[in-house]
Structure 1
Amino acid sequence: MTENDPALRYTLEAVRSFRDGELATAPRRELNDMARQIAQQYRGDGMSSNMVSGLLRIAEFVLLCAVGLLIRVVYVGQGPWLAWEYPAVIASGSLLAVAFLNVAEAYQFRILSRPLQNLARLGLAWMAALGALATMGFLLKWSEDFSRVWFGSWFLGGFTAILLVRVIVSIFVKRWVRNGVIERRAVIVGGGQAAEMLIRSIEAQPYNDIRICGIFDDRDDRRSPAIVAGYPKLGNINELLEFARIAHIDMLIVSLPLTAESRVLTLLKKLWILPVDIRLSAHTHNLHFRPRSYSFIGQVPMLDIFDKPINDWDSVAKRIFDIVFSLFGIILFSPVMIATAIAIKLDSKGPILFRQKRHGFNNEEIEVLKFRSMFSEQCDPTAKQAVTKNDPRVTRVGRFIRKTSIDELPQFFNALFGSLSLVGPRPHAVSAQSHDTLFYEVVDGYFARHRVKPGVTGWAQISGWRGEIDSSDKIRMRTEYDLDYIENWSIWFDLKILFLTPIRLLRSENAY
């Protein structure tokens, strides 16, 4: 696959246009009654197959360790002889088993659904793991210290345990797929014969976890029928943006030929702001790339255009990070928060906390908490009039807590309860403006910063883009840093931003 190939060429062109800020922001469109009703059905979260396979990895590691330790206790005994060596070898072998099963693609959804048809795959992976362990023991000359009977019993017992747990999991997986507990919710972009062939191909896959929620296409009913393979066309692409903000969609599958480059690019420029996987169906074109160029839904090849950021286990790790450090922050700063609450109450009349509607994940509105820093009768929940230097609306206490960002401390509770993350793009007020122009009208692709949960602190803030937004360039730069954070996210990146925040807040010349 070279840069001259059409698939790679339009992908590179799309990415470059996104980077250069050539994206259009689609206006919000009202959904028709049927589309809104269907969207409401998918407001709840389902369990992804990646989460199930991840939990199975953990379960199999624990199970293999338990089997090995049980046989060691029953046959070898619990004496001091090799007291730590046996557990170390058992843990190493179990970890190798999970690794080899992963290499053998034994955690793929199609394999989980059919364990008995994949006995050889499971057996070879387990055999390879213990074979590698035995080879290591032989080379290090400590294998003679371990019981051969124990090792052989663990081989048989471990394989039996793997097979048993996989049979049980397959029963539950099939039931969960039927009941919609496990599903990847997909929307088809593009209609007509190509969409019908794609849908038929997906539905032909056994034990398929893809749930098609509908079809969206800009073409009228003459070129794109209202019903395709039994699924209704719910609207055009602008309406899809609103549909995806209501329904929790996992994937958009673009069913257009590779030759329609300009149309595909136009779609991508609108769709990339959504927090979903975007795939281009490759089942009808005649070009053949290397297998690693594709991902697959069953046997249907897809070209990966965009991936949902901070997904599955990454989202679990980030949520744990938020809970742990939010609790730590609440405990650490509780004296400061109590003192601030008293000072606000003594300084001016009104509530201690200020509540403001802001854009959250996927453009949902959230309520963000702050210490009140302005006179209560002059507070501006809409943020239409930005706070400026020596603003008369700000109280004496408010001026200090805004300068030091103490007013933001209640947002630890937002992060603890889940409406915010500790680190992420800072949420802006729903009606925030720059020179009487809404932020999303200033910056093309602005809503792409909402593909992840907003944060108490962020990459833009510690990079100097904090405080008053009095020019279009400032909101553009903030958005650029926010998108850079999303593309390069990691737990280590979050830690870096979190620990640099109090240091960078000392340079607070832009905070009023």
Structure 2
Amino acid sequence: MNATEPTGKLTKDAVLQGETPGERKPRPELGRIARQVAQQYRRDTTSPVMVSGVMRLAEFGLLAISGIILYTWHVGLQTHLFWQYPLIIFGCSLVTVILLEFMDAYQMPALRSPIGQVGRVFLAWTSAFALITISLFFLKISADFSRFWMGSWYVTGFVLIFLTRSLTAQLVKRWARNGRIERRAVIVGGGKTAEELIRSIEQQPYNDIRICGLFDDRDDRRSPPVVAGYPKLGNVEELIEFARIARIDMMIVSLPMSAETRVLSMLRKLWVLPIDIRLSAHSNHLRFRPRAYSYIGSVPMLDIFDRPINDWDSVAKRAFDIIFSLIGIVVFSPVMLATALAIKLDSKGPVLFKQKRHGFNNEVIEVFKFRSMYVDQCDPTAKQAVTKNDPRVTRVGRIIRKTSVDELPQFFNSLFGSLSLVGPRPHAVAAQAHNRLFDEVVDGYFARHRVKPGVTGWAQINGWRGEMDTDEKIRKRTEYDLYYIENWSLWFDLKILFLTPIRLLNTDNAY
């Protein structure tokens, strides 16, 4: 390997090269201690990135609102500078936040120490004011602005920022104590290398990493059961089950790069999880360019996989789901009401049908559909796929399945959060092809569940919808789903959403 030019990032193709489907292995059982530890970490945490982002919005909002209130109270809305004042207020508030960002005043160590940040806050706020004042002078309109308003806003804004940061520091310290704000990590590997890594992480000031335990395929003779005070909770296969229960943020592989075969073997199993995967580089003699690394404090890491949709991306996607789900419910409500009436008149039984399917991180969720089969022949597990001219399907069921109207109730799944509007389509937990479960056909199949499943998806608008009766169809659908996950953006979601009605006109594979 050339040490001067590497990117420090392994691709999915490199990790999975040569992987072939194998025989189905029994689901690993976690040991008692591992299960107890996993249960302790079931609750979601708040990402430091989210805290920093909210802090930026809060300070911008406080500065802008205080400026507007003082302007309304002292100057009044009748001034001839009715639009210049708000422009100056929002501009000055934005410049202040940008300057604080450049000064690293939104990093967690800075948010923990408000007294130590007084100088930076004073410099940023004063610099923003000076920049605005100079701009007004050169525009020859500075004389028209109230000096009292500017002075009172300057003092009020500084006091508000300081008080906000003092309150935030107390909250951050409290959240750090009770585990509300932390990044949970597991170590893959053991022995001296893992111990050195753990010590290095623990020595970092303002460390927000909570190490939950270690996993290693080696037995206790080659890998001690306790390393640096942390227990070995199981092997790599059991780690996958552990991460299904616990809310883990990061996995750190503590193996030397010389053990390439062993590292790749582990990554082939672990990449299906919706977590960040890092390869520890703290003990490697090979040194890459600085931009090849990410860091935990000063401990270098090589990024292997990133969680697909994280932090503010997840907030944006959730907002997208809520807005467009509400629009979909309103627009299609006449169709849904007519469908419900037709189902009721056509056959006995409930209008809606609930089916258990795999959701995010392989969790089991219940998905709503309009009932399209006779009640006594419904198949909640979807063990037997619906085929062409299937006698179990009602007359109305054939129409709504052909047109995908039976899926419309899933707008409510998306609104409530078990589904996303766009994502890999959720498959029933017992869905099979030729008496083989889908994950038996495609290794890495569960990597589809690194994001929430969707009402519609990239595979569906590319023709891979309907019956999955061959291995090739399952592989192609998985391939398109993984492409979507790796290339996600809001624009991509919007494109898929608006293409869906057009592509659904092709009903060849819908029975």
Q: TM-score range by the shorter chain?
A: over 0.9
1:118 and 2:117 are equivalent in the alignment: yes
Q: TM-score, normalised on structure 2?
A: 0.93
* Matching residue of 2:296: 297
Cα offset, 1:287, TM superposition: 3.3
Match of 1:493 in 2: 492
Flag the 1:59–1:29 CA change in 2: closer, same or farther, 3 A. same
Partner of 2:13: 16
Matches within 5 A, 1:471-510: 471-510=470-509
Q: Residue in 1 aligned with 2:261?
A: 262
1:113-150 C-alpha deviation (Å, 9 max, x unpaired)? 12322344434443444454445445555445434564
Rounded to whole Å, the distance in 1 between the matches of 2:352 and 2:69 is 57
Give deviations 1:256-276, integer Å, cap 9, x for gaps.
223222222222111111001
Q: 1:437: which partner in 2?
A: 436
- Matched residue, 2:246: 247
Which deviates the most, 220-229 or 356-365?
220-229
Tell me if the contact between 1:110 and 1:298 (Cα under 8 Å) persists in the aligned partners: no
Q: 1:17 to 1:286 in 2, by over 3 A?
A: closer
Measured in 1, the distance between the counterparts of 2:144 and 2:233 equals 68
Q: How does 1:17-416 map to 2 (within 5 A)?
A: 17-18=14-15, 22=19, 27=25, 28-73=27-72, 76-134=75-133, 136-137=135-136, 140-147=139-146, 150-151=149-150, 153-416=152-415
Within 2, Cα distance between the matches of 1:436 and 1:10?
42
The Cα offsets for residues 327-376 of structure 1, whole Å up to 9 and x where unpaired, read as 22222222222221221122222322222111100000111111111222
Q: Tell me by how many angstroms 1:400 deviates.
A: 0.4
Cα 1:29/1:153, change in 2 over 3 Å: same
What CA distance in whole angstroms lies between the structure 1 residues aligned with 2:2 and 2:348? 67
Distance 2:147 2:339 in 1: 68
Distance 1:484 1:120 in 2: 47
Deviations 1:367-397 (A, max 9, x none): 1111111222222222222112122221111
Q: Which structure 2 residue ranges, 5 or more long, are not aligned? A: none
Residues 6, 259 of structure 1: 8 Å contact kept: no
On the 8 A contact 2:6/2:292 being kept in 1, the answer is: no
Worse-matched range after superposition: 472-481 or 251-260 = 251-260
Task: Specify whether residues 376 and 501 from structure 1 end up closer, same or farther in structure 2 by C-alpha distance, changes over 3 A only.
Answer: same
> Residues 197, 131 of structure 1: CA spacing in aligned structure 2 closer, same or farther, 3 A cutoff?
farther
Q: Tell me the distance in 2 between the aligned counterparts of 1:494 and 1:122.
A: 39
**Structure 1 residues 179-188 or 235-244, which shifts more?**
179-188
Could you tell me how far apart the structure 2 residues matched to 1:10 and 1:147 are?
56
**What's the secondary structure of 1:186's corresponding residue?**
strand
How many Å separate the matches in 2 of 1:425 and 1:465?
11
Percent identity, aligned pairs only, is: 67
Structure 1 residues 461-496: Cα deviation after superposition (integer angstroms, max 9, x where no partner): 011111111211111111111111111112221111
Tell me if structure 2 keeps the 8 A contact 1:43–1:247.
yes
**Deviation, structure 1 residue 223:** 1.8
Structure 1-normalised TM-score? 0.93
Q: CA deviation at 1:173?
A: 0.5
Question: Is contact 1:424-1:455 (8 Å) kept?
Answer: yes
**For each residue in 1:289-310, what CA deviation from the matched residue of structure 2 results, as whole angstroms up to 9, or x when unmatched?**
3333222222322222211111
Unaligned runs of 5+ in 1: none
Q: Work out the CA distance in 2 between the residues paired with 1:365 and 1:7.
A: 44
Do the aligned partners of 1:45 and 1:248 also contact (CA within 8 Å) in 2? yes
Report SS of the residue matched to 1:469.
Answer: coil
- 1:104 deviates by 2.5
Q: Is the 8 A contact 1:23 1:269 kept in 2?
A: no
C-alpha separation between the residues in 2 aligned to 1:156 and 1:169?
A: 20
Aligned length: 509
Q: 1:285 to 1:394 in 2, by over 3 A?
A: same
